[in-house]
Amino acid sequence: MLFICPVCREDLQRYENSYKCQNGHCFDIAKQGYVNLLTGSKGGNHGDNRLMTLARRDFLNKGYYDRFLNAIIDSVKEFAKPGDAIIDCGCGEGYYTTQIADSISNVTVAGFDISKDEIAFASKRSGKVEFAVASSFSIPVKDESADIILEIFSPHSEKEFKRILKKGGYMIMAIPLENHLYSLKKAVYDTPYKNEISDFNIDGFELVKNRPVKYTVNIDGNQDIMNLFMMTPYYYKTGKLEQARLNTLQELSTELEFSILVYKKCS
Ligand SMILES: [Zn+2]
C-alpha cells in the first residue's frame, strides 16, 4: 500500500474490508475496491462534474486518444525500473493509470482523484492499481516515496509533487499544445484562439524529455463530437448560440496536439 493514513501519516495495514493505521484511524474499502482517504468532507463528490465525466469516458473509450495513450505508456516505460512506485495524480476514471499498469510489469501503480465517482469507475477497470479518493493538494503518500508521478491534464501542485517524489525521480506531465482541437474551436467560434503554451521550466526539476504527439482524428457522428466538446473546458465557457453550432454537425476532422514532458527531480 503506497497510501498512508491522512490523519497521522502512519502506514496503513489491511484488515478485511478496511485499512487501519497503528493509531486506530480506519478507512473502509468500498465494494469496488478503492479507499476514501479524504478527511473532512466524506461526501467526496468534487472534481469534474458528472456531464463532463460521462462525456470523457464515452469519448476515450472510442479510442480517439489511443495514439496519445500509447505515447504516455512508452514514456513511462522509458523511465521506469523494476520495483518502481508509480503514482497517477488526479487520475480521474483511470483510463491512463490502468493501461499503464497493464503494460508495465514489476512496478506498483497507484492512482488518486478527488472525485469519488471517477475513482469508483477506475476501480472497476482494473484490480491491479491501488486507487484512493484524495486531493492533489494534500496527498496521503510519504515524503520521497514515488519513483514516477504522472500528471495527465490534472491540477498541478508543485509543492506536493516535489515532496512525494524521490530525488532523481521523474514527473511525467501532459499538456495541450497550441493547435490542440483548433478545428473544433473553428466550428464553434467566430474568432477561435490557439492555446497559449506556458514556460516549461519548473524549479527544482530538469526537463529531460519533450515528446510532442500530433495527429488528426476524424470524428464520426454528432454524439462523439458533442462528447469531445463537453470534455473540454470550452463547453462550459461558451454561450448557447455558439454551442448550438455543433448540434447538427455529423463529421469533424480535428487536430490532437499534446506534449509529454518528462522532468527529473534534481533537489
Ligand atoms: Zn492514523
Domain that holds residue 53: 13-265
Does any domain span residue 103? yes
CA of 8 to the centre of ligand 1 (A): 4
CA of 133 to the centre of ligand 1 (A): 16
Cα separation values, 28 from 14, 16, 32, 111, Å: 10, 9, 11, 17
Report the C-alpha dihedral over residues 12, 18, 20, 24, rounded to 10 degrees.
170
Domain count, the chain: 1
Does any domain span residue 49? yes
Do the Cβ atoms of 75 and 148 come closer than 8 Å? no
Question: In angstroms, rounded to a whole number, what is the distance separating the alpha carbons of residues 179 and 254?
Answer: 9
DSSP structural state of residue 24: -
Q: For the domain that residue 254 is a member of, what is the CATH number?
A: 3.40.50.150
The amino acid occupying position 54 is: L
Does any domain span residue 92? yes
Residues with CB under 5 A from ligand 1 (ion): 5, 7-8, 21, 23, 25
Q: pTM score, two decimals? A: 0.93
CA of 27 to the centre of ligand 1 (A): 10
Does any domain span residue 78? yes
Residues 6+ apart with CB under 8 A from 184: 225, 228, 229, 232, 234, 252, 254
Cβ-in-10-Å burial (0-12, 13-18, 19+) of 106 comes to exposed
Phi, psi of 89 (to 5 degrees): -90, 125
Does any domain span residue 51? yes
Report the C-alpha dihedral over residues 177, 225, 241, 239, rounded to 10 degrees.
-50
CA of 18 to the centre of ligand 1 (A): 13
Do the Cβ atoms of 218 and 253 come closer than 8 Å? yes
- Residue reference for cell 506536493: 160
CA of 235 to the centre of ligand 1 (A): 41
Does any domain span residue 3? no
Cα separation values, 158 from 4, 36, 130, 202, 225, Å: 20, 23, 23, 8, 34
- One pLDDT digit (tens) per residue for the chain, 267 residues: 899 999 999 999 999 999 999 999 999 999 999 999 998 765 445 566 778 888 999 999 999 999 999 999 999 999 999 999 999 999 999 999 999 999 999 999 999 999 998 999 999 998 899 999 999 999 999 999 999 999 998 888 889 999 999 999 999 999 999 999 999 999 999 899 999 988 889 999 999 999 999 999 999 999 999 999 998 888 888 888 888 899 989 999 999 999 999 999 997
